[in-house]
Structure 1
Amino acid sequence: MKKSLLFTLFLVSGFRVFAQETFPVNGVQDQRPDLYAFTHATIFVNAETVLQNATLVIRGKKIESVGTAVQIPQGAVVTDLKGKFIYPAFIDAFTSYGLPEIKAGARSFRATPQFLSSKKGAYNWNEAIVPEYDAKSYFQVDEKKAADLRKLGFGAVNVVNRDGIARGTSAFVTLANGKENEVIANDRTSSNYSFSKGTSTQDYPSALMGCIALLRQTYYDVRWYKASANKTDFNISLDELNKQQTIPQIFEVDNVLDILRADKIGDEFGVQYIFKSGGDEYKRLDKVKATNGALIVPLNFPKPYEVEDPYEAMQINLSQLKNWELAPSNPGQLEKAGIKFSITSGDGQDFWENLRKAIDNGLSEKQALKALTETPAELLNVTDKVGSLKTGMYANFIITSANLFKKDNLILENWVQGQRLIVNNASQVDLRGLYNLKIESLPTVKLTFSGKSAFVNETSIQLDTVKAKPVVSRLNEMLNFNFSLKNLTKGNIALSGYISNNEPLQLKGTAVLADGKSVSWVADWTEAAKENQKSEDPKPEQALGTITYPFIAFGFKELPKAEKLLIKNVTVWTNEKEGKLENTDVLLDGGKIVQLGKNLSVSGAKEIDGTGKHLTAGIIDEHSHIAISRGINEGTQSVTSEVRIGDIINSEDINIYRQLAGGVTSSHILHGSANVIGGQTQLIKLRWGKSPEELKFENSDGFIKFALGENVKQANWGENQRYRFPQTRMGVEQVLVDAFQRAKEYQKQWDGYNKSKSGVAPRKDLELDALVEILNKKRFITCHSYVQSEINMLMHVADSMGFKVNTFTHILEGYKVADKIKAHGAAGSTFSDWWAYKMEVKDAIPYNGAIMHSTGLLVAFNSDDAEMARRLNQEAAKAVKYGDVSEEEAWKFVTLNPAKMLHVDNKVGSIKVGKDADVVLWSASPLSVYAKAEKTIVDGIVYFDIDRDKQLQADVKAERARIIQKMIDAKTKGEKTQKPMRELAFDYHCDSEYHFGGTESDADYNYRYGLEHKENQH
């Protein structure tokens, strides 16, 4: 008792000030030893080691000893923690604690373009690359925020600048109060990155693919800068990045697909990132595990939506509903998958509620503790200081009233570097129990202290069947309460007193009766309160929905596999010299077309009756903009050949499924037309449910998007945007000549180096690398074009600079120069009948495709539109209407001809033995407006089936109804809710603008553009 009181009195004055060896003291120095011993506690040394009835001794900032046979040093202040628990204080590996608030740049959304950095000094050319940012130089102790984090159980944090793509170094600090030099435990903990340009006011990059390209180029520049012994300039940013490569590398991402994108960069440059994730890794768990990267996971579980109103419920798509249900299972699923992860506090709101929710959904308590202590310490290389309770480590620990993760547990105290923060007063004795209360001259009555916690008490006094609930106030060992019992006394009785003995408990003091008379009273403990004997009700297991691939409506619970399929008695449009074959059988096996013939019989094959139906090669869309994330245009510079559509493929786009329903099996995903030389394109197969990398068409040639016309000279961008060169059509020619001249000189530099193999290699330039590939016939051009003068100009530039144009796309005046295009060796991918939608298409005619075809030009019809792509079979039919193209030749406009343009006609585009089994079974002639794609098969896998689709529609409705009811139940039980927020999608076109900045995510961007995502309609 005396020790406990002494301990309390010793510390009530506040925190001790640390000894400051390098700072002078004005006055007498405090030389007290700061020596404390905590006895009889259950001590979690770490998640694996638990000591019963153990002692922890701390001296100053450090742990002196811990164990079950520790000798308490002379002079130590001792506190008895019998029945209490001690755990290592938590560590947050990703916070902005103590750093200045990030303020957005001064430029407005539609301000005049800024091409170069406005930052003064010898820094990187781009403001989003700020590796020179050093968190320790900006860090300031924030006592209020530190106290808030300590109340949650945290004792140390990694301080990260969240502004920019390359963000500089973080610092590891404790949450103690004092001077900054006293709490910084590691001044360079990690080097930090993201896909967000942050507050940079430069235009470039404006899209996700630009952010990726900028980071890749920066890594190459870092290598070149390090290797260049005789530098012609000094670059602070590159110098700093070189110095940071040996410390942990943390990459902040928005979602699971961004983890895969960042990991791809890491693989390219031999960097293993730690991913600060978005909390949705469960959606692609196998892919996340394959990255070998550890995670810093937030507990930002979405609140249930208010869905009682059926109309409001319709605003929420299935992916949002399922994420609400499954997000709390994310930590548990990571644990089961064996993925290393730590937990971050995020904004701190609902931290403990969500942590316990994660435990209820599969996360073990052991792993939860590890993810809050040892793992973040390991990730940040500070295991010698924090993360467990061992001799010599910081005295960072929490004292709890019960098991840490028990619902009624309280964090009593949080000690950081030997500083004490009282969260809930641990010095209070647990009064819960039954007592005999004897007030002088009055009969003995039963006194009951009861409550859910040892330190938040509800008090009742009982005489026979009469109960009273007095008002109780308590300060440490002192207490006051009053009551009135009719059977005992008239009027009110007020009692004041103190705890006179701990074992057994005895309370005593003075009572003031209703008549004002003062008498003594005493209460002796007799037994534990009945409430204390109640065990927690076991939680019923929550039935969770299944994860689908992709994680939106119509996803697969299990990805389909290739089958041996025999399609019987079907009309086959071969696109080969055999033409159309009636009543023919086609065998698909191993992802290939194996056999064509009549009356085939194949053992083990699944037969499909094709009677009255038509089988064609899958449609190939030569010009598409589906399935990408956060921007189709990097239009901030005239030449952006360094950016790659392949870096931003979005496998979760519903348009993949919709276009499968329209018979499309491959799509050529293009950069937009905002600049003269745009980005590298990506040909994909529509393998619904596969990951972004798995969508890519294997071993296909690389292409790149060029553009001419109104878009590239910014004719319709607004006057405040008309600063980027070129601003005229003749300027476009100069951009092309200049770009290829630079590429030739660049190639010459590399040729000289490769020949001599001496000196330092030239600086690798991703922009020029792509142009050199064009000159070397390793990358091919598809060019957005309209008017004949510019088509002629580009062919002239190509001939003079030594390259070829592979495809003119759009090319609505192609009919005027079809002979010249053929002579150049280019093809034409056009619209079927678009015209009059802007000035430069005023001469467009619907006979364009037929006329070009009649000259012997290779012609295709493309979509450039997510909706049109679902009906490309009908677009092909327009060639029959406008120009009398034969049906078989018209069908080639969307199958074999685009395959030839994309150099994959040896694999797809026709039905021929040995080619990929990318075929479509139609209900009628594919050129008919009544035709429906009944089965769309890619690589021998049925990715769309019209009968299965009906079942999927029913499944979607049932799943929505189930989760909505679950949300209503959650609200009824008292969970906080949120208003429905429609998650919107944006279908891109060639001229779609995108300004990517700050920390904007896909959802933020989609919402800002305000376009509807009709997920359940296809």
Structure 2
Amino acid sequence: MKKSLLFTLFLVSGFGAYAQETFPVNGVHDKRPDLYVFTHATIVVNAETVLQNATMVIRDKKIESVGTAVQIPQGAVVTDLKGKFIYPAFIDAFTSYGLPEIKVGGRNFRATPQFLSNKKGAYNWNEAIVPEYDATKYFQVDEKKANDLRKLGFGSVNVVNRDGIARGASALVNLANGKENEAMLSGQASSNYSFNKGTSSQDYPSALMGCIALLRQTYYDARWYKANNGKVEYNISLDELNKQQSIPQVFEVDNVLDILRADKIGDEFGVQYIFKSGGDEYKRLDKVKATNGALIVPLNFPKPYEVEDPYEAMQINLSQLKNWELAPTNPAQLEKAGIKFAITSADGQDFWDNLRKAIEFGLSEKQALKSLTQVPAELLKVDDKVGSLKAGMYANFIITSSDLFKKDNLILENWVQGQRLVVTDAGQADLRGVYDLKIEGVPLIKLTINGKNAFTNEYSVQADTVKAKPAISRLNDMVNLNFTLKNVLKGNVALSGYISGKEPLQLKGTAVLSDGNSVAWVADWKEAAKDVQKKDETKSDLSSGTVTYPFIAFGFKDQPKAEKILIKNTTVWTNEKDGKLENTDVLIDAGKIIQIGKKLSVAGAKEIDGTGKHLTAGIIDEHSHIAISRGVNESAQSVTSEVRIGDVINSEDINIYRQLAGGVTSSHLLHGSANAIGGQTQLIKLRWGKSPEELKFENSDGFIKFALGENVKQSNWGENQRTRFPQTRMGVEQVLVDAFQRAKEYQKQQDSFNKSKAGLAPRKDLELDALVEILNKKRFITCHSYVQSEINMLMHVADSMGFKVNTFTHILEGYKVADKMKAHGAAGSTFSDWWAYKMEVKDAIPYNGAIMHSTGLLVAFNSDDAEMARRLNQEAAKAVKYGNVSEEEAWKFVTLNPAKMLHIDNRVGSIKVGKDADVVLWSNNPLSVYAKAEKTIVDGIVYFDIEQDKQMQADVKAERARLIQKMIDAKTKGEKTQKPMREQAFDYHCDSEYHFGGAEADTDYNYRYGLEHKENQH
């Protein structure tokens, strides 16, 4: 029996309507065989295999056979698809289809703190850890959303809970209409993670580094739980997390740096994540490839900004402008790099427009189909069920009018589990054409109806004898038009009617005039329409800029390399016993200082004339908060030694470049001062353009931030913050004693088990591990401090518990206790001349540094401020003014002395043969306000050059101008636009708080004032 493509309504409504096997039927059973045959079609089996004039047989939801010589079984409903195409239906590996809506927000951070979970039951202590979530228990068929996805070509989707850090198991479902039991393709499709705590109302974690630490601790807890077979406690969350380790692991991230952060966690625990990305992988393509992880990539290409207004254009930074241009190239660049990726409809609009744009920008059609079918099926381990058109697989396929990726192609039908779902009614009459419109009592009107194709219901209409802008709508054979005919009739005319004849086409019905009278109307088709509204199609401007490292203003197109450099005839501040050397040469090669002397001559070296200039070791900032992503304080608990600044380095921070321009070569990135024991610090070299891991100062000792005083006891946190211990300075002491007592007991327990291997394995505690490192002299303390009483208190606690305080930072009352600090063995890193900015610094004096130095303490000046760090050379000069410290000793306050504090003086801090070539060439005495850093060299690489900077400023201006004009042109061509949106971020200080959902939550870039501070000011 043969049928046309348009099946009868009876058959269509009957497909898939029979009851499920396990469900009773109230009435007469209707279990007809689902047997359909499609002939003479172009069948795309998968991206590699295309069959011409082929046949496919569907029986009971599955493909029975497909090929060019298939026998048609008797009793089948046969459809001739000559000229049409069949493709596998798409698979979206990342959606929230069918799950309850997540209520955004979480706890108001101004509310009373919540330390523990409010969730009842034997679950994890933190609400953001919910591996017990099972999407199969919450999924409900949503026919409207399913229909929207089917129109795009999707037949099955992975249903993911997007709430929390460990999010539980997803479900793979088909998009058929019917019961949930029928739609469910597989449970436990993937285990899911993110760096977003979601709706959790607990305070912890309050920053990105806390999210990372919490996830790492959860993994260790799950291992401990498994090793002990749940004998210590029963924990549903840890039990479920362990069960899910054998299924695909999907990690949702916001940007490319988060991919690298998540991959580090995966490497630590032997997990290879699939990354649901943010769509900006092109920015660090080589690093993404090195993760070996597959991607699920959104097509969330940004719209051009409205930048005609120069003031509004200033709100957009260069990174935003460049991302608009380069984002559409992301899929093509992934394909070229050989990175496996699926495409998702998540996070984006205009799916098909963006997919075609990605193809226009270089993505092959073959890869596009693969990324929508085979790849997601493989990633979710269901490629034996969906993703191709092979015998035994589910009958999930789409029928198209033409080649899938052609602009005028239409998806006609989407079959899901053998259930036919009409997307575009190919049998409806084509309304396009020129008509004679006759309205009773009105002169003849020539009416033109245009549209993209015969099947769409999107039309443009023109009545060319009068000025009119008709509105038209259509539902099957019903038609409505509404317009005003000036000079013919007064007011509005509403036509409602139907298609009364199709050969030739005729429309007729009733017109309601503006006076309320109803009259008859008829429109007779005369000829095919010439689309008078059709404009010449304009292709996208495929020319594009280049990726820079980092992807912000002043980034390098090509990473600079180490050179053999000979700096001639300059004044060298050695910071060694030789002091200052006049008219001296310094040779740098392979990142090291090779030779120091006079009148050196070296073949192949790049010579720099240093006459009248000064060469110094690079400035080392002992206390910095630059280059940190999404929070400098994990402020929710009194002890957060488990968190690590090294996990959240932001290599895209413009402050790195600015501080290179101020002669800084290394920065010690500290946790804030919100807790008595804060997070682990990270020392970096300012290698502008390198990735976060490449910024880290190799083989340097680990440090940790402690704090005392007002910030710790929450003096200025508001009335609601009166529950977290400690609330007094006395309480701070008890927190410290308690923490180290616990650490000692923890180490004893660990040592005992490691020796005997008897009994239950002790739980690994990341918080206590860091404190044990302090006790074992493998991690060192830098402590935020002001008041002498607390300084004495911490030294007393340290002496009694068996550890040392390496550095007191800020230490504005250090001059009062310098002798005791010297006896303890502590150094002092202070401000040059800050005072009177809060109560606990009322006794601060500008002579503090000089007095501590005269007592024999190791003294440094630090910034704690992104702007001050660019002028630390001038801060050092204040030691000469306040206390008559010699120039050479004052210079050591920002070079050699911080190097000694950080235990890296064997490599940096002075100019000595064999040390790292971290040097700065100054235009004048470096302590002078007139001195400029002309060249800042790190590891023998020139990362800042004052002459090159002038060219880079000009390049930034030119690039902005080019991109702004390109956006204006795009708007002129009809592209949808968006309002300029300034990217909000912070320059952090010790007391900066960060809360998820706050101003910085949507960006990973530490821009200031949106335009990188006008981008041309350093």
TM (norm. structure 1) is 0.91
Match of 1:660 in 2: 660
Q: Quick one: which amino acid aligns to residue 659 of structure 2?
A: Q
* Distance change (3 Å), C-alpha of 1:1000 and 1:381: farther
* Superimposed CA distance per residue, residues 153-189 of structure 1 (whole angstroms, 9 cap, x where no aligned partner): 1111000001110000000001111111111110110
Query: Are the counterparts in 1 of residues 319 and 552 from structure 2 also a CA contact under 8 Å?
Result: yes
Task: Describe the shift of the 1:420–1:819 C-alpha distance in structure 2 as closer, same or farther (beyond 3 A).
Answer: same
Of 695-704 and 411-420, deviating more is 411-420
Deviation of the 1:1003 alpha carbon: 2.6
User: Match of 1:170, SS?
Assistant: strand
The question of 1:769 aligning with 2:769 is answered yes
Q: What is aligned with 2:491?
A: none
Q: Once the 2 structures are TM-superposed, how far is the Cα of residue 7 of structure 1 from its aligned partner?
A: 2.5
Q: 1:735 to 1:856 in 2, by over 3 A?
A: same
Aligned to 1:787: 787
1:952-996 superposed Cα distances (whole Å, 9 cap, x missing partner): 000000000000001001111111111111112200000111122
User: Structure 1 residue 16: deviation in Å?
Assistant: 3.3
Q: Is the 8 A contact 1:449 1:457 kept in 2?
A: no
- How far apart are the structure 1 equivalents of 2:246 and 2:508? 70
2:131 maps to what in 1?
A: 131
Deviations 1:258-284 (A, max 9, x none): 000000000000000000111100000
Partners of 2:12 and 2:420 within 8 A in 1: no
Go from structure 1 to structure 2 and tell me whether the alpha carbon gap of 1:475 and 1:71 turns closer, same or farther (over 3 Å shift): farther
- Which deviates further from its counterpart, 974-983 or 553-562? 974-983
The corresponding residue for 1:700 is 700
For 1:627 and 1:945, how far apart are their aligned partners in 2?
A: 21
State the SS of the aligned residue for 2:293. coil
The residue aligned with 1:984 is 984
Over 3 Å counting, the alpha-carbon distance change for 1:476 and 1:679 in structure 2 is closer
1:23-43 Cα deviation digits (max 9, x unpaired): 000011112112111111111
Q: How does 1:178-197 map to 2 (within 5 A)?
A: 178-197=178-197
Name the counterpart of 2:420.
Answer: 420
1:632-690 deviation per Cα after TM superposition (whole angstroms, max 9, x unaligned): 00111111000000000000000000000000000000000000000000000000000
Q: Distance in 2 between matches of 1:273 and 1:473?
A: 48
Who is 1:59 aligned against?
A: 59
Q: Measure how far apart 1:722 and its partner are.
A: 1.8
Structure 2 matches for 1:782-861, cutoff 5 A?
782-861=782-861
Report SS of the residue matched to 1:805: coil
Determine if the alignment matches structure 1 residue 71 to structure 2 residue 83: no
1:392 paired residue number: 392
Aligned to 2:320: 320
- Partners of 1:427 and 1:476 within 8 A in 2: no
Counterpart of 2:369 in structure 1 is 369
Match of 1:297 in 2: 297
Instruction: Provide the C-alpha distance between the structure 1 equivalents of 2:1001 and 2:984, rounded to a whole number of angstroms.
Output: 12
Secondary structure in 1 aligned to 2:720? helix
> Structure 1 residues 808, 421: closer, same or farther in 2, change over 3 A?
same
The residue matched to 1:102 in structure 2 has which SS?
A: coil
Shift of 1:426: 2.6
Partner of 2:634: 634
The answer to whether the 8 A contact 2:18-2:30 is kept is no
Q: SS at the partner of 1:187?
A: strand
1:761, CA displacement in angstroms? 2.5
Q: SS where residue 53 of structure 2 aligns? A: strand
Q: Which segment drifts farther, 264-273 or 37-46?
A: 37-46
Question: Aligned to 2:828, what secondary structure does the other structure show?
Answer: strand
What whole-Å deviation, never above 9, does each CA across 1:505-562 have from its counterpart, x for those lacking one? x8799999xxxxxxxx999x9xx9999xx99979476110100000000000000000
Q: Does the C-alpha gap of structure 1 residues 747 and 287 become closer, same or farther in structure 2, counting only changes over 3 Å?
A: same
Q: Which residue of 2 aligns with 1:944?
A: 944
Does structure 1 conserve the Cα–Cα contact (< 8 Å) formed by 2:654 and 2:1012?
Answer: no
Point out the more displaced range, 725-734 or 697-706: 725-734
> 1:662-677 to 2 correspondence within 5 Å?
662-677=662-677
Q: Which amino acid aligns with 2:936?
A: T
Which amino acid in the other structure matches residue 863 of structure 2? S
Residue 1003 (structure 1) aligns with: 1003
| 811 and 43 in structure 1: CA distance in 2 versus 1, 3 angstrom threshold | same
Percent identical among aligned pairs is 86
**Cα distance in 2 for residues equivalent to 1:508 and 1:699:** 81
Distance 2:949 2:196 in 1: 38
* 664 and 721 in structure 1: CA distance in 2 versus 1, 3 angstrom threshold: same
Partner of 1:485: none
Displacement of 1:202 after TM fit? 0.6
For the 8 Å contact 1:432–1:457, the answer to whether it is kept is no
Q: How far off is 1:455 after superposition?
A: 2.9
Distance 1:949 1:396 in 2: 57
In the alignment, is the contact (CA less than 8 A) between 2:129 and 2:165 conserved in 1?
yes
Aligned to 1:160: 160
Q: How far apart in 2 are the matches of 1:926 and 1:292?
A: 47
Pairing 1:142–2:142 present: yes
1:986·1:1009 contact (CA, 8 Å) conserved in 2?
no
Q: Is the 8 A contact 2:553 2:1012 kept in 1?
A: no
Name the amino acid aligned to 2:177: N
Q: Shift in Å at residue 10 of structure 1?
A: 4.2
Q: Matches of 2:540 and 2:200 in 1, distance apart?
A: 50
Q: Which moved more, 1:55-64 or 1:256-265?
A: 55-64
Partner of 1:45: 45
Asked whether 1:239 is paired with 2:239, we answer yes
Q: Structure 1 residues 546, 18: closer, same or farther in 2, change over 3 A? A: farther
The two structures have a TM-score, normalised by structure 2, of: 0.91
Residues in 1 aligned to 2:333 and 2:135: alpha-carbon distance in whole angstroms? 33
- CA change 1:143–1:201 in 2 (3 A) is same
Structure 2 CA distance for aligned equivalents of residues 1005 and 23 of structure 1: 55
The answer as to whether partners of 1:196 and 1:998 remain within 8 angstroms in 2 is no
Work out whether residues 567 and 586 of structure 2, in 8 Å CA contact, stay in contact via their aligned partners in 1. yes
Report the Cα offset of residue 57 of structure 1: 1.6
Query: Are positions 1:752 and 2:752 aligned together?
Result: yes
**Which AA in structure 1 matches 2:355?**
L
Looking at structure 1, the residues matched to 889 and 971 of structure 2 have their Cα atoms a distance apart, in angstroms, of: 60
Secondary structure of the corresponding residue to residue 190 of structure 1 = strand
Deviations 1:884-928 (A, max 9, x none): 000000000000000000000000000000000000000000000
Structure 1 position 105, deviation (Å)? 6.0
Counterparts of 1:612 and 1:956 in 2: how far apart (Å)?
31
Q: CA RMSD in A?
A: 3.4
- Give, in angstroms, the shift of residue 1007 of structure 1: 10
Is the Cα–Cα contact under 8 Å of residues 630 and 1002 in structure 1 kept in the other structure?
no
Instruction: Give the 3-state SS of the residue equivalent to 1:113 in structure 2.
Output: coil
1:930: Cα distance to partner?
0.1
Q: 1:86 to 1:428 in 2, by over 3 A?
A: farther
Q: What are the equivalent positions in structure 2 for 1:343-742 lying under 5 Å apart?
A: 343-347=343-347, 349-428=349-428, 452-456=452-456, 539=539, 542-742=542-742
Shift of 1:395: 1.1
Give 1:471 deviation, angstroms.
13
For residue 8 of structure 2, give the secondary structure of its aligned residue in structure 1. Answer: helix
Relative distance call for 1:1009 and 1:190 in structure 2 (3 A) is farther
Mapped partners of 1:826, 1:412: distance in 2? 76
- Tell me how far 1:80 sits from its aligned partner: 1.3
